């Protein structure tokens, strides 16, 4: 049944019925020249100041209708910039739930929607999960318009294209797909749009929901990056990547994400090349330590004792003496305890967090060793392993390392060093077979890509980084030195 907007009493009745007489929706009647006008708004979403200032005051000024009809008169005299015409009931509901104020006018086929949104956003604050020493301090907030503004502030060009779409049956969340026309590869944009259009979901609460629905589910390593820093997003866009901004989520998705992206931070762009290279090699070491140390230790003390110097072996043997569990069980116990500790630390408020870490450190560390349940060396191994997984900002990445760490340990406990090597081969095959939106995950190393390698594990001086990697963009010239005749 189609509801004609001129029958305003019926519209109001239907709205009341559909919202089950919600107290939040306010209906105010007003007469201008004996014509009835309904002012309808959703109270929690609207600002009463704006309604009184821009809507009611403007309406009060209208004394008489001369010539034009009341509808046009109202539309012209309202001192509000964002005025929308509404032609049917669906539109009316949509705008009502977006925080607009609806003016229903008797005997008119169109209604008017006026923007009177309340400010429900927090202000822009420094990033909490991706801190930098010398980078920009702002970070995304929940409002999509603010977030887009933070990016547009940095990239001032017509070529920054935004494709908008709404996803979610009930949440109707706006999503913006950002890319720079002329840098990005068309097929990547199409692929992302294709995957997004396939999503049919009741609600999108956070960008993580979108991310999980568009990446390949089989792989353990994250193939999309999330960040709350506008400068990271802007940099990614300039490289030829795509950003997906989701309303109500301070985390923006960057696509595609390769393994090397998790080793890089925005600060790398500001640092000197040698220092950056050093940090990246350090991170790579941490990556290897994080997945392999417990496994190597287990294979050394249970299978391959001949591989280490005698003094070290004696030291291991002395510390292991009297520990009632096999090395694998000991390692598993400590790693699980650490993970529980980390998880509880993440969830507890900061006030109890410090108490928790003291208890965790004391009980797990000192007391367990004194009680002879675990050896000191195992505490050291688990500590170095856990610390090594923390230089990475992406939480998904850290959690993936955890899974591979356990796999390596299983390999070690069954076959010692050979088992570690077997799992390593499986690991390498696995990681080589991953693709992020059609891009090989180990790019630029496998397959080899020279312009990409210049800024991967080792960063060359900035003057030499004149080209974008071909796998991200067709427009590869990034920077031109003045004496370059190209």
Partner 1 sequence: MMKNKILVLFVIFLFTGCYNYREINSLSITTAIGIDKKDDNYLLTIQVVNTQKVGSDTNSTGEQSKFITYETKGETIQEALRKIVLESPRRLYINHLQLIVIGEDLAKEGISQIFDFFMRNPEARKQSQIVVAKESKAEDVLKILTPLETISSKNIVDSISSDSKYLGVSENNTFEYQVKTYLNDRQDIVMSTVKVVGSVDKGENTESLKDVSSDAKVVLQGLAVFKKDKLVGYLTEDESMSANLVNKKVKDTLVNIECDKNKYITIELMKPKVDISPIQDKLQMKIEVNGNGNIKEIDCDYDLNDIKVIQEIEKKTEEKIKQNINSVLNKTINEYKTDIFGFADTIYKSNPKYYKTIKDEWYSKNLENLQIDTKVDFTLKGKGNIITVIPDEEN
Residues lying near partner 1 in the complex (CB under 8 A) are found at: 301-303, 305-306, 310, 313-323, 326-327, 410-411, 413-416, 419, 422
83-86 sheet: strands from edge to edge: 25-32, 35-42, 100-105, 111-115, 83-86
Residue closer to partner 1 by CB (options 301, 472) is 301
Cβ partners under 8 Å of residue 474, min gap 6: 185
Residue closer to partner 1 by CB (options 188, 292) is 292
Give min distance, CB of 339 to partner 1, in A. 23
Residue closer to partner 1 by CB (options 86, 423) is 423
Backbone CA torsion sign across 292, 294, 297, 298: negative
Rounded Cα–Cα distance for residues 183 and 189 (Å): 11
Strand spans (E) along 13-131: 25-32, 35-42, 83-86, 100-105, 111-115
CB-hemisphere CA count at 13 Å for 250? 17
Residue closer to partner 1 by CB (options 226, 299) is 299
Residue closer to partner 1 by CB (options 317, 403) is 317
Cis bond before residue 256 (omega within 30° of 0): yes
Q: Report how far apart, in Å, the C-alpha atoms of 422 and of each of 260, 286, 410, 441 are.
A: 24, 21, 11, 21
Give min distance, CB of 419 to partner 1, in A. 7
Give min distance, CB of 388 to partner 1, in A. 24
Residue 56 is classified by DSSP as: I
Task: From 188, 400, 157, select the one nearest 291 (Cα to Cα).
Answer: 400
- SS3 state at 80: coil
Give min distance, CB of 402 to partner 1, in A. 19
Give min distance, CB of 299 to partner 1, in A. 10
Give min distance, CB of 320 to partner 1, in A. 5
Give min distance, CB of 314 to partner 1, in A. 5
Residue closer to partner 1 by CB (options 11, 292) is 292
Residue closer to partner 1 by CB (options 281, 312) is 312
Cβ partners under 8 Å of residue 176, min gap 6: 144, 148, 162, 163, 164, 244, 245
């Amino acid at each position: 049944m189609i509801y004609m907007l001129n029958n305003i009493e019926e519209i109001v009745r239907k709205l009341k019925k559909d919202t089950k007489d919600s107290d939040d929706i306010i209906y105010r009647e007003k007469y201008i020249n004996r014509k009835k006008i309904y002012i309808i708004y959703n109270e929690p979403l609207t600002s009463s100041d704006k309604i009184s200032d821009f809507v009611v005051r403007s309406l009060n000024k209208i004394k008489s209708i001369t010539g034009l009809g009341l509808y046009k008169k109202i539309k012209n005299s309202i001192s509000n910039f964002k005025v929308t015409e509404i032609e049917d009931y669906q539109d009316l509901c949509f705008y009502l739930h977006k925080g607009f104020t609806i003016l229903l006018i008797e005997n008119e086929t169109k209604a008017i929607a006026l923007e009177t949104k309340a400010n429900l956003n927090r202000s822009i604050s420094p990033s909490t999960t991706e801190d930098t020493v010398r980078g920009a301090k702002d970070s995304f907030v929940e409002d999509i318009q603010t977030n887009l503004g933070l990016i547009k502030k940095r990239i001032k060009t017509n070529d920054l294209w935004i494709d908008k779409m709404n996803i979610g049956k009930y949440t109707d969340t706006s999503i913006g797909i950002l890319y720079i026309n002329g840098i990005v590869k068309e097929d990547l944009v199409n692929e992302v749009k294709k995957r997004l259009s396939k999503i049919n979901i009741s609600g999108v609460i956070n960008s993580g929901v979108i991310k999980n629905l568009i990446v390949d589910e089989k792989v353990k390593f994250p193939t999309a990056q999330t960040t709350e820093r506008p400068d990271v997003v802007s940099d990614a866009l300039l490289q030829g990547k795509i950003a997906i901004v989701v309303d109500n989520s301070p985390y923006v998705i960057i696509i595609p994400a390769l393994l090397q992206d998790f080793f890089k931070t925005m600060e790398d762009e500001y640092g000197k090349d040698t220092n950056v290279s050093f940090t990246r090699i350090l991170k790579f070491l941490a990556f290897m330590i994080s997945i392999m140390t417990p496994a190597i230790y287990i294979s050394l003390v249970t299978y391959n004792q001949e591989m280490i110097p005698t003094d070290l072996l004696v030291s291991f043997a002395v510390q292991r003496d009297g520990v009632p569990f096999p090395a694998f069980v000991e390692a598993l116990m400590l790693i699980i305890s650490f993970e529980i500790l980390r998880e509880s630390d993440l969830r507890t408020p900061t006030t109890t967090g410090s108490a928790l870490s003291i208890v965790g450190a004391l009980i797990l560390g000192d007391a367990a060793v004194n009680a002879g349940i675990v050896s000191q060396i195992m505490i050291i191994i688990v500590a170095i392993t856990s610390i090594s997984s923390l230089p990475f900002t992406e939480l998904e990445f850290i959690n993936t390392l955890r899974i591979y760490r356990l796999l390596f340990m299983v390999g070690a406990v069954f076959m010692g060093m050979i088992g570690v090597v077997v799992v390593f081969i499986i690991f390498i095959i696995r990681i080589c077979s991953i693709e992020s939106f059609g891009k090989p995950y180990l790019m630029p190393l496998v397959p080899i890509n020279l312009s990409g390698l210049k800024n991967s594990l080792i960063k060359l001086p900035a003057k030499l980084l004149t080209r974008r990697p071909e796998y991200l963009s067709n427009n590869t010239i990034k920077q031109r030195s003045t004496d370059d005749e190209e």
